[in-house]
A and B are shown apart, each in its own frame.
Chain A
């Protein structure tokens, strides 16, 4: 006779620590199996069903508790390789993001012949491009060898999610205000005697979410289809680009676990992915004019492709190495 709960046990063997399995999961599973055997001896299907339901409910509770315990222990017990990897990754991300942001900011300023302090207003605009690149290179440089662990991968995914939250805040508040301020300063340089009664109007990128929605509603009322599609693209792009860091990081993590990579190999793949994602997202400006596909679909397509690829790769990834279990007393 086959004991029940073998699939759950196989899952626990793969994902839980040896300590959690021995102390919590295996005894609970043994109870489930013993109750099932006892219920079968009675010959009543209702008894068997009741034993299985009660047993699996208890198992679910145990799995959640054991998972939380492992997560808690995992947060405080980092292996030296993981700590070194995380530190190196943080430095690489900081350096790459700083260099790329400086580069993206200096290019338009060089054309404008503007003062350097004006660059502060362009930094938020450069971050949606520099942060995904920086994170991608950092993840590619750290997730390999002994540092290729589930714990570090989870930490990287959390960092990606936090970067996305930060990016959303950037698109919500920083970019509209800094853009507008930049435009006002540059406009004042071009027109030394501006009319104070007519302030410089805000474009869609310089509006907050609610004002932008209001602007789009007005455009829809005017039935200005061509301009409306471009404006909708601008609007939805802000959402999509907020999610990009998380999606890119997720895809690179999934790729890193796929096979043993060299640092140069994985970094090249990460850079290629970022560049492809950016090219695909930039192409929406052309596609929105020449196709009838809704802008929201066009704008979200690059993120959707990356997210789907990450999920497919993660589902079929090879067995990931785990950090050695913490010593038990």
Chain B
């Protein structure tokens, strides 16, 4: 294989307004566009789940235990086609996946949003005040970040017990430190800019400077981090549910479905574990592709 020594890539000259330029650059990658479309589709499906799913798999009245473990394509007595088969409780897998996606996205989005808010505030405070405040906060952040997320989540859930809200709390605890560190870095740079100096000279209150001026301008790098973290959160929630420490079994979760299907896999009933996992993979992959593209186009921009 010949080695080609490629030359310096040219920076793209700035053209057009910020957001439009961002979109145009984003759209240059067909893969990223497809991924974005995928994400939008998944969100739409998840939101509409209660209305478009053929059955509500968590309403026990709608289930027929006799229909359990049917392979994909089988029919129910009422003429409902189980396109992806049923699980051991007789749940239609298509519906279960839709509801599961709904929960996954809801939990991940909520946790990310709250963690983002907390991390952004903490990081901005650290960057603004500097000195001992910064040192202490960053120490805490560093120690937390040096621990694997899964362990923190496991231990928290072991203490708190099961429940959707507990899972959200665990996810928030795991994520906030990333945001804090990212925004602190970018806020430290912004802090040296003249408009912050000007605000201080004008004797604006620290809170106002921090949250009306510093935070909004230090924010952009967080978008990339948040995107990747949503994917992470989805994966983590599914993993925790799979392990049995996440959401309780009365709630739909793709992780629980897969855990359910684990045992039956060895007897050849592959679909119970396979399809929910595929849906999970699709969601995570789409979000990661979008996040990757965003990271690509935002980084050289930041260096300018």
- Determine if chain A interacts with chain B: no
